[in-house]
Amino acid sequence: MKRSINHTLPELDEVQRKRAAVAEEIALQESLPDLLRKEEEERRTTLPPFDMLEDMIRSNEFDNKVALGQVKNARRDFARSSCMTLLLLIAAAVVLWWAYQSVERYGLL
C-alpha cells in the first residue's frame, strides 16, 4: 500500500502544479485588459519630450506645405492637360473640316 501512495503523491503534486499554473495564467489573462487600458491611458495623458514635440510640429508643418505644393502641381498639370486636350480637339475638327472640303471640292460626295 505504501507503494501505491508514493506513486499517487507525485502524480497529485504534478496535477496541483499544473492546476496552479493554469490558475496563474487565467489570472494574468483576466488582468491583461486592465493593464492595456492603463497603459493606453498613461500614453495618452503623458506628453512626449519637448524636443520630440518640436520635431513633430515641424514635421506636420512640412507635410502640410508639401501637400499644398502637391495640390498646386496637380492643378497646374490638370490645366495643362486640359489645354492640350482642347488643342487636340480643335486640330481634329480642323483636319475633318479640311478633309470634308477637299472631298466636296473634288466632287467625291
pLDDT in tens, 83-107: 999 999 999 999 999 999 999 999 8
53 and 99 within one domain: yes
What is the total count of domains within the chain? 2
72 and 22 within one domain: no
The DSSP symbol for 46 reads S
Round to whole Å and give the CA distance between 90 and 96. Answer: 10
58 and 35 within one domain: no
Return the H-helix or E-strand segment holding 95.
helix 50-105
75 and 98 within one domain: yes
Is residue 3 pLDDT above 70, yes or no? Answer: no
Lookup: cell for 19: 492546476
31 and 17 within one domain: yes
Rg of the chain over CA atoms, in angstroms? 40
pLDDT (0 to 100) of residue 5: 54
pLDDT tens per residue, range 14-30: 889 999 999 988 888 88
pLDDT tens per residue, range 39-89: 888 888 887 677 777 888 888 888 888 888 888 899 999 999 999 999 999
Residue 6 pLDDT level (bands cut at 50, 70, 90): low
Residue numbers of the domain that contains 10: 1-46
54 and 27 within one domain: no
Q: Which amino acid is at 78?
A: F
Indicate left, alpha or beta for 4 from its phi (over 0: left) and psi (-120 to 50: alpha).
alpha
62 and 105 within one domain: yes
67 and 31 within one domain: no
Give yes or no for a contact between 78 and 72, defined as CB atoms under 8 angstroms apart.
Answer: no
The DSSP symbol for 1 reads -
109 and 89 within one domain: yes
Q: For 80-102, give one letter per residue: b (16+ CB within 10 A) or e.
A: eeeeeeeeeeeeeeeeeeeeeee
Last residue of a domain, one of 30, 46, 62: 46
